[in-house]
Amino acid sequence: MSRGEFFGFALLAIVVGLLVVSSRSGNGRAELVSKGMPLPPLMVEGWLNVEGGKLTRESLNGKVVVIDCWATWCPPCRAAMPELAKLYAKYQPLGVEFLGLTSETERDRAAIENFIASVDGFDWPVGYGALPMQDQLGIQVLPTVIVFDQEGSVVWSGSQLFGFEAAIEQALAKAEG
């Protein structure tokens, strides 16, 4: 098999894989975290941007929660942060809680803090050393953003923000109704 044939087959396999993934969702977008999945315990090594240094699942009861799984070394994650900061500014006053989760550990804390400081408005809690929690959520793609309704169940997830605001608005309307 020539190098060209190999790359042709590899490209075909990627395209077929993308078609299979997108066909699993009714709107052409793969569901990254299963709808209805409950918010797992907040298992992280430590927290940044949290008064008292600790956050619990119980403190989030009855609230719409957005979790952003990201990493400092992930270019799409870094690119999404300014938009997330704008959305945080819009929805945090309405009671929506944003949490960032990174699998990076205490050893990477300086890089995490430097990145947070580099994004205007990035002042929501960030759990580092969050690989156990990301594993419970089944995170395989970074970034992954997840919206949980006030009952603590996943109502939306994606690697891009298309549909994100509509999911928050729906969850807020459900909380009011």
Q: Which two tokens stand for residue 59?
A: 């403190």
pTM: 0.81
- The answer to whether the beta carbons of residues 80 and 161 sit under 8 Å apart is yes
* pLDDT-derived band at 21, boundaries 50, 70, 90: very low
**Tens-digit pLDDT profile for residues 46-89:** 999 998 778 889 999 999 999 999 999 999 999 999 999 999 99
CA atoms of 125 and 98, how far apart (whole Å): 7
**Tens-digit pLDDT profile for residues 164-175:** 999 999 999 986
Q: HSE, CB side, 13 Å, CA atoms: give it for residue 126.
A: 24
